């Protein structure tokens, strides 16, 4: 997708601190971390949100969930949160599906 920042990260056109990768997904550190562990799990295919990828490519959606466990394991974390903001009113600002893997410290729920 032209002008999609996460497609550009997937393509290597914009740098990111990649911490894990599978054939379908990548995981990289959030540029503005909200918790001691804040990594984004991102599909290599462009889909707008978790529902869209779940319909179009269930295996790719499942891969994000499995990769989140890998990210937490690699960080030495047992328990973590996996959040998919879906839609602008829910705080989604990048419209390429990504899960926030969050752990450590006091993680705000962010429900305002």
**Rounded distance between C-alpha atoms, residue 28 and residue 38, angstroms:** 9
Tell which positions 6-65 bind ligand 5GP, by CB under 6 A: 14, 16, 28-32, 40
Please check whether residue 39 is in contact with residue 99, taking contact to mean a CB–CB distance below 8 angstroms: no
**Residue 110 interaction partner, one of Zn ion, ligand 5GP, none, beta carbon < 5-8 Å per kind:** none
Helix or strand (DSSP H, E) at 5: helix 5-10
Does residue 78 bind ligand 5GP (CB under 6 A)?
no
**3 state SS of 100:** strand
Q: Which of 46, 47, 96, 98 is catalytic?
A: 98
**Residue 46 interaction partner, one of Zn ion, ligand 5GP, none, beta carbon < 5-8 Å per kind:** Zn ion
Enzyme catalytic residues:
98
């Amino acid at each position: 997708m032209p002008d999609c920042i996460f497609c550009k990260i997937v393509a290597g056109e914009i740098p990111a601190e990649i911490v894990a990768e599978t054939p379908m997904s990548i995981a990289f550190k959030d540029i503005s971390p909200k918790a001691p562990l804040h990594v984004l799990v991102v599909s290599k295919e462009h889909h707008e949100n978790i529902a869209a990828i779940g319909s179009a490519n269930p295996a790719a959606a499942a891969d994000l969930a499995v990769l989140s466990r890998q990210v937490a394991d690699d960080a030495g974390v047992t328990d973590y949160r996996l959040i998919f903001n879906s839609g602008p009113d829910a705080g989604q600002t990048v419209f390429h599906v990504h899960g926030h893997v969050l752990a450590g410290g006091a993680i705000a729920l962010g429900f305002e």
